[in-house]
């Protein structure tokens, strides 16, 4: 928190602060907190600190609608930072909620926002979720508004940082919380700093046209006031000139000069009496106004029937006023107006009209907490509700200050894979907030994480129990598969070299024999065992020397491709049969090689065209036997006496699909 000297002409004192009705029951303890703050600031030699606290407290009360707990926390923040009181003493003298708010403010102050420009949305999410108590963020907004009001006391470099953060982070946050008055003032002050020339030009034109604008609005309002009074409506009518940033946006969007912006101001009709059916009354007022001035149906905005997520309720329309000028009219009740000005913090005075049950309960708990902040059960309740709204996301800092969005409940290993697959695959642990933690450590919102890696680290099946992200599970499975293939290739080379040294040829029958001897379910498993060093090379010789029924132990020559496919060499037998156990099979002759009687052949089960007969010398044969060995069948020609066809003519199958 920064200190300033008071620049306003009217000095705001503690006694003026204590005049607020909402602080009536806490005035004694507030005086005690203020005295402790004054004593510490005197020790620090900071005479302007007290005025800063009082002005910020006024912002919290008037612009946001917070209560005594927030004001006490603001007063005691510096006292707590200097360790004047122990935590136990603070809780005893000022209450546990005050200590909680101070710790929450510290969390937000510790956030490194250097890279907010490249991580804007993530920083906003972090600010909204870092503390369980929403008042922490509201207090920070009040402090930031004070900073912007006194921006001139900062050095130029600090001014740029404050303004940049305000534009990227605090203005969007104020908008999302429904604090439109604070949002508009922050926008105004940011533009005044960043673009003083344009700001000054529009400000001058607004001043020059004020008299004409006042006369026009008076003429516009007069018949409306008369009509509303005749129908018994107690209303206040206000003229609201659009903010200079808003006018600038309209000039850019509509590509017009200042003089061509038709809706420089809006008329606000506020219904004073809080009536049970206030929505119906707003629509009645709308009907009366549109009887006087013709509305533009495309410009009707009904946020009464469908309130915004922040609780904002209002009926907006644009009508054609005198001289054919368009005028925006906003219609709302007094309750709606206070909520529109102060966001959901104003809900503590009223019943929430939000249709979303989750947020309605959230607002109800905020209202109760602000009204009776000492009730710890309500503190827990709002924490539960806020967690329910934001429970699915956390935000993690990298050592370089980048902010990463992550799912709640994710581990160090999840975060490593989110950075990069290679980082995840070689991750050995992490340093979180300065402490070493294992892969399974669950991350918390706002953690600073440095991932540790090692070139020797590899994924293992146990990692699948650590990660939560489906995408990361798939990544680990893929990495395990790739690692298995690498090990299998390495194992194959080991076996091949050993077998060759022993004087054997590296053939499929030999490998199958080794797989059976080592108790492997597949050749791939055999390769993997040797690749991972789980099998003894010296046992290969013993495995090959053991008798194998029906075969010789001596090294054998590898069979040719036709021998492995059909088991029949040309000239041994001259008959065509696919499976001796089956008398009739549907088949077709392949057009790629067009086998003829007497050719060495084999059968291949295709996916869509049934069984195809190919030559063993077919150009596609090697690919089929290599990729799909389980779909290759033996095929042989029938004797000539049976076939009665020319040796040079393909034998006709017994049956073909589609023929009887």
Residue 1 inside a domain? The answer is no
Per the model's pLDDT, the better-predicted residue between 464 and 362 turns out to be: 464
Q: Are residues 64 and 86 in the same domain?
A: yes
At 565, is the pLDDT very low, low, confident or very high (cuts 50, 70, 90)?
very low
Q: Predicted confidence band at 7 (pLDDT cuts at 50, 70, 90)? A: very low
Task: Flag whether 649 is in a domain.
Answer: no
Determine the Cα–Cα distance for residues 400 and 115; give it in Å rounded to an integer. 9
C-alpha to C-alpha distance for 645 and 627, rounded to whole angstroms: 34
Residue 652 per-residue DSSP state: P
Same domain, yes or no, for 267 and 146? Answer: no
Q: Are residues 397 and 385 in the same domain?
A: no
The answer on 418 and 282 residing in a single domain is no
Which 3 state secondary structure label does DSSP give 229?
Answer: helix
Checking if the pLDDT of 38 tops 70, the result is yes
Domain assignment of residue 9, yes or no:
no
Q: Residue 480 pLDDT more than 70?
A: yes
Choosing from 407, 433, 468, the residue where a domain stops is 468
pLDDT recorded at residue 583: 52
User: 72 lies in a domain?
Assistant: yes
pLDDT, tens digit, for every residue of 408-454?
888 999 999 888 888 988 899 999 888 899 998 998 888 889 999 98
Using one digit for the tens of pLDDT, what is the confidence trace for 172-194? 888 877 788 899 999 999 999 99
- The answer on pLDDT for 654 being more than 50 is no
Regarding whether 171 and 33 lie in a shared domain, the answer is yes
Same domain, 120 and 187: yes
Confidence of residue 552 (pLDDT cuts 50, 70, 90): very low
Residues 281, 240, single domain; the answer is yes
> Per the domain annotation, does 199 fall within a domain?
no
pLDDT at site 378: 36
Closest of 496, 640, 623, 492 to residue 565, by C-alpha = 623
Do 151 and 48 share a domain, yes or no? yes
Nearest to 301 by CA among 335, 330, 337, 278: 330
Q: Is residue 260 part of a domain?
A: yes
User: CA-to-CA distance for 517 and 541, rounded, in angstroms?
Assistant: 11
Bridge partners for 328 per DSSP: 266, 318
Q: pLDDT higher for 392 or 377? A: 392
Does one domain contain both 144 and 89?
Answer: yes
| Average pLDDT, rounded, for the chain | 78
Using the CB atoms, write b or e for 467-486: b if 16+ within 10 Å.
bebeebbebbeebbeebbee
Number of domains in the chain: 6
Residue 533 phi/psi, 5° resolution? 75, 20
Are 518 and 408 contained in the same domain? no
Element (H, E) at 7: none
Helices (H) and strands (E) in the chain, counts: 27, 17
Separation of alpha carbons 108 and 395, rounded Å: 13
Which residues on neighbouring strands pair with residue 393, listed in sequence order? 407
Q: Which residue range(s) make up the domain with 384?
A: 357-389
Cα–Cα distance, 498 to 536 (Å, whole number)? 11
Query: Do the Cβ atoms of 580 and 567 come closer than 8 Å?
Result: no
**CA separation for the pair 336, 315 (Å, rounded):** 10
């Amino acid at each position: 928190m920064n200190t300033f000297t008071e620049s306003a002409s009217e000095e705001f004192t503690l006694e003026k602060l204590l005049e607020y009705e909402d602080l009536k029951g806490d005035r004694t303890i507030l005086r005690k907190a203020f005295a402790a703050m004054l004593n510490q600031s005197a020790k620090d030699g900071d005479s302007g600190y007290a005025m800063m606290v009082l002005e910020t407290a006024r912002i919290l009360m008037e612009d946001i609608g917070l209560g005594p707990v927030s004001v006490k926390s603001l007063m005691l923040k510096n006292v707590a930072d200097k360790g004047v009181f122990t935590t136990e003493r603070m809780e005893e003298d000022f209450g546990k909620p005050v200590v909680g708010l101070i710790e929450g403010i510290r969390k937000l102050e510790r956030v490194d926002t250097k890279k907010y420009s490249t991580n804007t949305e993530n920083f906003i999410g972090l600010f909204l979720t870092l503390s369980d108590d929403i008042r922490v963020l509201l207090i920070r907004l009040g402090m930031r508004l004070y900073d912007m009001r006194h921006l001139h006391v900062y050095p130029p470099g600090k001014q740029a940082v404050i303004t940049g953060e305000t534009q990227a982070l605090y203005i969007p946050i104020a908008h999302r919380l429904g604090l439109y008055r604070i949002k508009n003032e922050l926008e105004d002050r940011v533009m005044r700093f960043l673009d003083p020339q344009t700001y000054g030009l529009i400000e001058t034109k607004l001043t020059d046209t004020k008299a004409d604008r006042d006369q026009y609005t008076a003429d516009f309002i007069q018949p409306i006031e008369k009509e509303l009074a005749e129908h018994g409506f107690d209303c206040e009518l206000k003229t609201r000139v659009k903010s200079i940033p808003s006018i600038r946006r309209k000039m850019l969007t509509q590509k017009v000069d200042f003089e061509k912006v038709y809706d420089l101001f809006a008329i606000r009709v506020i219904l004073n009496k809080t009536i049970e059916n206030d929505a119906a009354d707003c629509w009645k007022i709308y009907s009366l106004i549109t009887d006087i001035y013709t509305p533009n149906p495309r410009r009707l905005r009904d946020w009464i029937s469908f309130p915004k997520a922040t609780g904002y309720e209002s009926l907006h329309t644009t009508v054609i006023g005198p001289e054919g000028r368009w005028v925006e009219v906003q219609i709302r009740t007094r309750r709606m107006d206070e909520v529109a000005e102060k966001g959901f913090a104003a809900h503590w005075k009223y019943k929430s009209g939000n249709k979303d049950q989750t947020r309605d309960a959230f607002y109800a708990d905020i209202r109760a907490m602000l009204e009776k902040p000492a009730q710890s059960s309500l503190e827990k309740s709002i924490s539960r509700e806020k967690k329910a709204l934001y429970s699915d996301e956390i935000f993690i800092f990298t050592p370089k200050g980048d902010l990463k969005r992550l799912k709640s409940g994710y581990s160090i290993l999840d975060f490593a894979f989110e950075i990069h697959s290679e980082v995840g695959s070689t991750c050995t642990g992490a340093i979180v907030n300065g402490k070493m933690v294992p892969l399974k450590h669950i991350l918390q919102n706002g953690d600073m994480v440095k991932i540790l890696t090692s070139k020797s680290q590899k994924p293992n099946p146990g990692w699948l129990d650590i990660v939560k992200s489906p995408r990361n599970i798939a990544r680990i499975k893929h990495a395990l598969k790739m690692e298995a293939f690498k090990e299998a290739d390495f194992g194959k080379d080991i076996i091949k070299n050993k077998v060759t040294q022993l004087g054997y040829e590296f053939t499929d029958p030999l490998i199958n024999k080794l797989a059976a001897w080592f108790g492997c379910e597949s050749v791939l498993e055999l390769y993997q065992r040797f690749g991972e060093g789980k099998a003894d090379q010296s046992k290969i010789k013993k495995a090959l020397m053991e008798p194998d029924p029906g075969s010789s132990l001596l090294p054998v020559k590898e069979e040719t491709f036709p021998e492995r496919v059909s088991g029949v060499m040309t000239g041994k037998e001259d008959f065509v049969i696919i499976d001796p156990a089956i008398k009739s099979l549907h088949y077709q002759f392949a057009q790629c090689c067009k086998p003829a009687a007497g050719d060495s052949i084999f059968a291949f089960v295709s996916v869509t065209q049934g069984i195809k007969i190919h030559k063993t010398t077919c150009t596609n044969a090697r690919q089929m036997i290599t990729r799909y060995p389980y779909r290759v069948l033996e095929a042989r020609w029938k004797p000539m006496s049976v076939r009665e066809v020319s040796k040079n003519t393909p034998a006709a199958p017994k049956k073909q699909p589609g023929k009887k």
